[in-house]
Amino acid sequence: MSFDPKLCRNESEVESKLIVQYLLPTLGYDASKWHQEVALGSIRLDFLALTSQVFPSITDSAPKVCVVVEAKHPKQNLNLHVRRMRRYLSKLQVMYGVLTNGKDFRIYQLIDHQGDRIDLIFQCQGSEIAAKIQKISDIIGRDKLAGIETPKSITETKFSEQVKLQPIETYLLPIPESKIARTMKTIAIYHNKGGVGKTTTTINLAAAISRKGLKVLIIDLDSQANTTYAAGLMKFETEEEDTLKDSNIYNVVFYPKSNYIPEVALKSTFTYPSVDVIPAHINLIWQEARLVDKDSSKTHLVKKLELVKDDYDVVLIDTPPSLNLYAKIALIACDYLIIPSDLKPFANEGLRNVKNFIEEIDEFRSFINKSPIAVLGVLPSKILTNANYIKATLPKQEKVVTERYGFPVLETRIFQREDLSRAIDNFIFEGDRQIPDPKSIFDFKPDSISAAEFEELANEVLEKVGLSA
């Protein structure tokens, strides 16, 4: 039996042709020793390979002698999924993990079972798997792992007794863990320089989080209303058809005792599962003067978000590229801040303004008994894909952010790709009318590299705010 990576054109074929038909049988795992679509608490695995039908007790913290196998689309960069593999192995205390897209094959090992360190212990190209299958078997073959003595502290229980078999082959293994308090997390997406990817970040991060089963609310506080457009809420062509001018974020922040969030929020059409969106409007430009004269408007959003804290897990606030009142309202209301930046000189120099602005806002927050803003980090976005730039220049630019301006840099990078702009610019025809039909990258091209990048961003953000598995 052999394997040809050219036969794998998508993620489903990587699963069926590489993992199910070739890898697992060749390594000695018959159908009774591996399970697909395994859910352990809130963690979902593509495959879990066991040395027997006996599974170590979930409650035991000792390393478990089994293998997590994750399959990705052939076009996806596996580097984007290492963080998730590390979380899987460390959280579940599983000794080995396989990560493959058919073209690249890797084996990771949990090194520090009391921490989260994993090491890459084997790697080869997909075309080399058949030639190196013996070496792979020497690491994670069933016979090899069966010979590893499981720590005596592990209480063994039959796998069939721990799981409830579902018709769709989903296996539920409850993991006793400290209950995460699902406190609503409000995250502002802000930079005072425009064109750095705030809208793209807001829309696709919201979609990625929603796909994980969390309830998401987007608030657009930018008069340009780009996020409102990208969320699919601007399908009208004339002023007479404008359904947003009388019900948008202005109403929420201007009126203290009416226009509450459930009254103004709309269901989006850009992604599935849908998210709620409080739209912006171009009229915000001239309406700002009325808000300036009404000092209490700075806290109306804070109070109205408090009323829906049990309705949403995550609130994402898109902000204007300025230091105006709307930006202040966003930063007063948020718990966390993400700063998208293309890391070019002007964007980096603008971080000084961002830092001073945060200090000003934190001073006001102290008067209303809100803790300082927690900056999750600068998000490298709209980054060039040129290999030389990524290798030589990008690390220097990221270093400047930390050393000169004191901001952390998020590990995830969002590169400038055509798929992202095409997704937002998507449209449909109704008769002779061209109707905007923007999509998230997950709904437009789910197997794209950009989708994988935003999936990784969602994982990183949720981990930092305490909502990850």
User: In this model, does residue 410 exceed pLDDT 60?
Assistant: yes
Q: Looking at residue 176, what is its pLDDT?
A: 38
243 pLDDT band, cuts 50/70/90, is: confident
Over residues 20-28, mean pLDDT: 92
Q: What is the CA radius of gyration of the chain?
A: 24
User: In this model, does residue 172 exceed pLDDT 50?
Assistant: no
Comparing 220-224, 301-305, 347-351, 439-443, which segment has the lowest mean pLDDT? Answer: 347-351
Q: How far apart are CA 285 and CA 245, in angstroms?
A: 12
Q: How far apart are CA 16 and CA 173, in angstroms?
A: 24
- In which element (H, E) is residue 136 found? helix 133-140
User: In this model, does residue 24 exceed pLDDT 70?
Assistant: yes
Q: Which pTM value belongs to this model?
A: 0.69
- In which element (H, E) is residue 436 found? strand 433-436
Find how far residue 125's CA is from the centre of its chain: 28
Vertex 79 angle, CA 423 and 421, to 5°: 15
Q: Looking at residue 180, what is its pLDDT?
A: 42
Q: Of all residues in the chain, what percent are helix, strand and coil, respectively (each to 5)?
A: 40, 20, 40
Q: Looking at residue 152, what is its pLDDT?
A: 41
Q: Looking at residue 319, what is its pLDDT?
A: 96
Q: How far apart are CA 127 and CA 100, in angstroms?
A: 12
Q: Looking at residue 61, what is its pLDDT?
A: 60
Q: Share the mean pLDDT of the chain.
A: 85
Q: Looking at residue 241, what is its pLDDT?
A: 66
Q: Looking at residue 447, what is its pLDDT?
A: 82
Over residues 366-373, mean pLDDT: 94
CB neighbour list of residue 261: distance below 8 Å, 6 or more residues apart: 217, 252, 278, 304, 305, 307, 308
Cβ contact 170:37 at 8 Å: yes
Q: How far apart are CA 338 and CA 357, in angstroms?
A: 14
Q: How far apart are CA 345 and CA 339, in angstroms?
A: 15
Over residues 102-125, mean pLDDT: 88
Percentage of the chain beyond pLDDT 70 is: 88
Q: Looking at residue 189, what is its pLDDT?
A: 98
Over residues 412-433, mean pLDDT: 88
Write the CA distances from 165 to 45, 68, 168, 170, integer angstroms.
15, 19, 8, 7
Q: Looking at residue 151, what is its pLDDT?
A: 45
Q: What is the CATH number of domain 185-465?
A: 3.40.50.300
Q: Looking at residue 175, what is its pLDDT?
A: 37
Q: Is 168 exposed, middle or buried (0-12, 13-18, 19+ CB in 10 A)?
A: exposed
Cβ contact 443:207 at 8 Å: yes
Q: Looking at residue 244, what is its pLDDT?
A: 86
User: In this model, does residue 165 exceed pLDDT 80?
Assistant: no
Cβ contact 332:235 at 8 Å: no
235 pLDDT band, cuts 50/70/90, is: confident
177 pLDDT band, cuts 50/70/90, is: very low
User: In this model, does residue 105 exceed pLDDT 80?
Assistant: yes
Over residues 103-118, mean pLDDT: 85
User: In this model, does residue 148 exceed pLDDT 60?
Assistant: yes
pLDDT for 31-75, tens place per residue?
Answer: 888 888 777 766 778 899 988 655 555 555 667 889 999 999 888
| DSSP letter assigned to residue 48 | E
Question: Is-cis flag, bond preceding 273, omega within 30?
Answer: yes
Cβ contact 118:108 at 8 Å: yes
379 or 163, which is more confident: 379
Q: Which range, 111-115, 234-238, 284-288, is most confident?
A: 284-288
Domains of the chain, by residue range, sit at: 5-173, 185-465
Sign, Cα dihedral of 262, 265, 267, 273: negative
User: In this model, does residue 161 exceed pLDDT 50?
Assistant: no
Q: Which of 101, 43, 26 is nearest to 71 (CA)?
A: 101
DSSP per-residue codes, 163-190: --B-TT--EEE----PPPP---EEEEE-
